[in-house]
Structures are given as structure tokens and as C-alpha cells.
Structure 1
Amino acid sequence: MQKPVVLTIAGSDSGGGAGIQADLKTFNSTGSFGTSVITCLTAQNPDGVTGILEVDPDFLEKQLLAVLSYFPVKAIKTGMLFSESLIRKISKILKEYRAKGQNFELILDPVMVATSGAKLLQDEAIQSLISELVPMASLITPNLDEAKILGSGEISKIESMEPEAISLSKKLGVPVLLKGGHIKNSEEALDILGLPNGEIFKYAKPFVQDFNPHGTGCTYSSAIASYLAQGFSLSESVSKAREFLHAAILQSFPAGKTKTLNHNPKI
């Protein structure tokens, strides 16, 4: 049986837990065939990012055209996009292919800052992300910090998530999955899917303590893209992806040093 094709446009994580590597693992684990376009090479592990090498926009174009001209891509997930020039190049090509009748879901994971604090999206690229790619998206999956940059209010309590998800979705004009994993002192990890028409869906799981969250956002958005490519509705895809992520967290294991290194190199 032929698997649906899903594309990730993101950065490479040399540690294997996030970025392109996590996306491809997730596509395969959820029943889709994964393809990739790399935006940046990063030198990183769960302790931090020590270097970023941006791909030349013209070479990014060659990667993207190589995939879209050959494979019947059903869904595209974006992660680390890094710069305004890369975002404009991606937007131009995706618009051209949609104009030709190639339909695909676009899941936008607005990766802006790594868990370690390293910037993964340049400040001048934020507005390009909002103006060029957000209007094309089937879904945006910000965490609370990213949602604030995109235009939501301050969110420090679970009770604030529902109205902010609806407000941000209406403001941007596309569905928003607001991820609540960063709320402190909560017994549950709550995510809210808000639609521009005011409709909401809630997804909650018991909060899991003492695990390394590196790559969870990449895995989540990739699983959503994979299930959308398989024909599930948006709310079903988010629900199935949430179950997949929770199971992955429960089955996670330490794959490297268990003690965090005391260094914070600048890029």
C-alpha cells in the first residue's frame, strides 16, 4: 500500500532529537513517507546550540523543487526557517505550486528560540513569517512564548489559554494550536486548538515530570502533518498526534549525558 508523502522544511539537528531528524523519524513512525528540505545545519545537542550554518537560498530552492516536482506531497511541515531570505524563497515556491493546482496542507511550527535559549529565527524574519507563510497555513503550532511574539497576550495560567487561542486564531485568520506545556506548576499539559470562527478543541494529558523536552514540538507538528496527509480532519490529526507524542514521552530514555554541561556558547 502506498504511503502519503509528507515534506519537512527545517533545520538539521546533529543531536538527532529535533529538527529534520525528529521529523523524518515521526513521519515513518506514524505511517507516512518523509521527504526533507534543509534550511540550516546546526551544531547542537540537548544542552545547547553551538553553531548555525544557513543554507544558500538558491540551494534551498533546488531542494524544494526537487521534492515538489517529483513527489505528490500531501502535507508540508515547517520548522526552523531562520532568515527572511529563506522564508521569502519558500513562500514564493509554495504559492507557485498551489497556483498550479498542487494541493497540500501546510503546518507551520513557528520555531523561534531553542530550549537552550539560542535564536532560531532572526528578528527581522518574524514579520516575513507572519505576512508570507501564516496566511497559507492550515495550522500554526506555537508554544506560549511564540504565541506572544505572534500577537497573543501574556499567558501564565491555564484559564487564559482558551480565550487567547481564539483571539490569536481570529487575528491571524488561521487555526492555532496553542501548546501549554510551558505553564509552571500545572498537573496537566493542556493544548487548545482555536479556529477563526471561535470553535475550540481541548487536548489534555497528565504532565510528565523529569524528561528532556528537546524535540517535542518538532515531533508534535510532524505527527499532525502526517495524519493530515492520511486524510484525517484537523481536530482528529491533532488528537492522534497528541496521543503519539504522549506515548513517545512515556517511552523516552536518556540517550546521552544525564548531567547538563555548564556552558552557554554564543553563536
Structure 2
Amino acid sequence: MEKPVVVTIAGSDSGGGAGIQADLKTFNSTGSFGASVITCLTAQNPDGVTGILEVDPDFLEKQLVAVFSYFPVKAVKTGMLFSESLIRTVSRILKEYRSKGQNFDLVLDPVMVATSGAKLLQDEAIQSLISELIPMASVITPNLDEAKILGAAEISKIEAMESGAVESGAVELSKKFGVPVLLKGGHIKNSKDALDVLGIPNGNTFQYSKPFVQDFNPHGTGCTYSSAIASYLAQGSSLPESVKKARDFLHSAILQSYQAGKTKTLNHNPI
């Protein structure tokens, strides 16, 4: 059976748990064909990032053209974009191929800070992300820290552990940007459940909750989640259904994770 083509535009994780490595494993595990465009090389493992090498924008463009000129792309997932020049290159090429009639969903994971704390998006690039790429997105998938950077005032209530703040934040950002926003509440400490809320610009919301899995290193979970959403969108599922399927897939992957190196990391092929 023919598989839909999904493209990840993201950084390479030498540890294999996040970035394009996680994305490609996820595409394969959820039934899609994955292609990749690398924005940065990183020297990292779940303990931290020790180096970042940005790809030249001209070479990034060559990768994008090579993929989009050959494959019938159904969905795109963006991850680590790092700099203003890379964001502008990605935006320009995606707009060009949409204008040529390629109809693809765009899942934008606003990767800003690694789980270990390393900065993965330069400060001067944040406004370019907001102005250039977010308006093109089918959905953006910030965590609570990223939502604060993007301007969600309601997220300050999270410290009081008000679950309603996750819903309010999702609605706030979706109305602000005019695109659906999946706000991931997994960073709420001491909570028994991980609550995610999909906010739609018209004010509608969809809630997704799973029990927290204890003693688990979350490195790569955001990449896996957004990639699974892109994969299911490419296969024809609606956005709310794609998020539900992706949430179930991620939870299953976490439950079946295995020990790799010093920390427990994701097994991206649980099926």
C-alpha cells in the first residue's frame, strides 16, 4: 500500500532520541514515508547539547528543493530552526511550493529550548518564527515554557496548578495567531495526569489526558508527538483525531521505552 510522504525540517540529534532521528522513526512507526531536511548538526545526548553547527541557508534551500521537487509531500513537520536566516529560507520555499499547487499540512513545533536547558532558537529568530511560519501552520505545538515565550499570559497560572490555565492558554494563543494551537501541559510538576489542550481560533477546544509515567527521561517526546500528528494528518485524519492518535502513540512508546545508555529514552518503534 502506498504511504504518504511526510517531511521533517529539523536538527540532527547525535544521541538518536530527538530531532530528525526521532521524527523519521516516528513516521515509519505510524505508517508514513519520511523524508528529511537538516537545519543543524548538534552534538548531544539526553544529558545535554555540547555543540551546534548551523547549515548554510543556500544548502538548506538545496535540500528543500530536492525533496519538494520530487516527492508528493502531504505534511511537513518543523522542529529546530535555530536562526532567522534559516526560518526565512524555509518559509520562502514552503510558500513557493504551496503556490505551485502542493497541498500539505504544516505542523510547527516551536523548538526553543532543549529538555536539558540548551537554547535551540536564537532570540532574534523568535519574531521571524511568529511572522513568517506560524501563519502558514495547520497547528503549532508549544509546551508551557514555549507558550510563555510566545506571549501566553494565562500560562503564569500554571504555577498554581490550575488545569484551566492550559485550556485558557491554548485558546489565547490560537486567537492571537489565528491558527490551531496544541498546548502541551506535561511540564506541570507533581500532577498525576498530563493534560494537553487543542485550541481552535473559533474558541473550541479539545482535551487530551494521559497518566504521567514516572522515572522517565522526556528527551525527544515533543519531537515524537508533533511528528506523529503530521503523519496522521498526511494519512487523512482530521486535526483533533490526529492529535488523539499521536497522543496514544506517544504514551504507548513511553510505556515500552527501554534503557539506552545512562537514562531511559524512547523506543520509537513500539508496534
**Which TM class, normalised by the smaller chain length?**
over 0.9
**Amino acid paired to 2:218:** P
- Asked if structure 1 preserves the Cα contact closer than 8 Å seen for 2:12 and 2:20, the reply is yes
From 180, 187, 199, the counterpart of 2:204:
199
The residue aligned with 2:86 is 86
2:235 to 230, 244, 250: 230
**1:77 corresponds to which letter in structure 2?**
K
Letter in 2 for 1:29: S
In structure 2, C-alpha distance between the alignment counterparts of 1:240 and 1:162, rounded to whole Å: 20
Matched to 1:124, the amino acid is E
Is 2:255 the partner of 1:250? Answer: yes
Instruction: In structure 2, give the amino acid aligned to 1:231.
Output: G
CA distance in 2, matches of 1:220, 1:32: 14
**One-letter identity of the residue aligned with 2:117:** G
**Which residue in the other structure is 2:165 paired with?**
160
C-alpha separation between the residues in 2 aligned to 1:50 and 1:37?
A: 22
Aligned pair 1:24/2:29, yes or no? Answer: no
Counterpart-to-counterpart distance in 2, 1:163 and 1:109: 19
Q: Secondary structure of 2:130's match?
A: helix
SS of residue paired to 1:112:
coil
Q: How far is 1:199 from its partner? A: 0.4
Q: Which amino acid aligns with 1:118?
A: A
Which structure 2 residue ranges, 5 or more long, are not aligned? 265-271
User: How far apart, in 1, do the equivalents of 2:169 and 2:51 lie?
Assistant: 34
Distance between the aligned counterparts of 1:176 and 1:152, measured in 2? 11
Q: Given that residues 217 and 263 in structure 2 are in contact (C-alpha distance below 8 angstroms), is that contact kept between their aligned partners in structure 1?
A: no
* Cα distance in 2 between the residues matched to 1:22 and 1:185: 27
% identical equivalent positions: 83
Distance in 2 (alpha carbons) for counterparts of 1:141 and 1:159: 18
Query: Counterpart in 1 of 2:138?
Result: 138
Q: Could you give the per-residue CA deviations for residues 12-57 of structure 1, whole angstroms, max 9, x where no partner exists?
A: 0000000000000000000000000000000000000000000000
Q: Which runs of 4+ in 1 moved over 2 A?
A: none
**Taking structure 2 as the reference length, what is the TM-score of the superposition?**
0.94
Partner of 1:173: 178
Q: Structure 1 length as normaliser, TM-score?
A: 0.96
Report the CA distance between 1:91 and its aligned residue.
Answer: 0.4
**Are residues 54 and 204 of structure 1, via their aligned partners in 2, closer, same or farther at CA, if it must alter by over 3 Å?**
same
CA distance in 1, matches of 2:263, 2:203: 43
RMSD value, Cα: 0.9
Query: How far 1:185 moved relative to its partner?
Result: 1.1
Say if 2:46 and 2:263, in contact at 8 Å, map to a contact too: no
SS in 2 for 1:125: helix
Cα offsets for 1:245-265 (capped at 9, x unmatched): 000000011100149xxxxxx
1:4-15 aligned within 5 A? 4-15=4-15
* Structure 2 CA distance for aligned equivalents of residues 258 and 242 of structure 1: 22
Whole-angstrom CA distance in 2 between matches of 1:62 and 1:79: 18
* SS in structure 2 of the partner of residue 82 of structure 1: coil
Task: Tell me how far 1:159 sits from its aligned partner.
Answer: 2.3
Segments of structure 1 that go 5 or more residues without pairing to the other structure are 260-267
Tell me which residue corresponds to 2:115. 115
CA drift at 1:163: 1.2
Aligned residues: 259
Is 1:212 matched up with 2:242?
no
Cα distance in 1 for residues equivalent to 2:190 and 2:215: 14
d(CA) in 1 for partners of 2:169 and 2:108?
Answer: 18
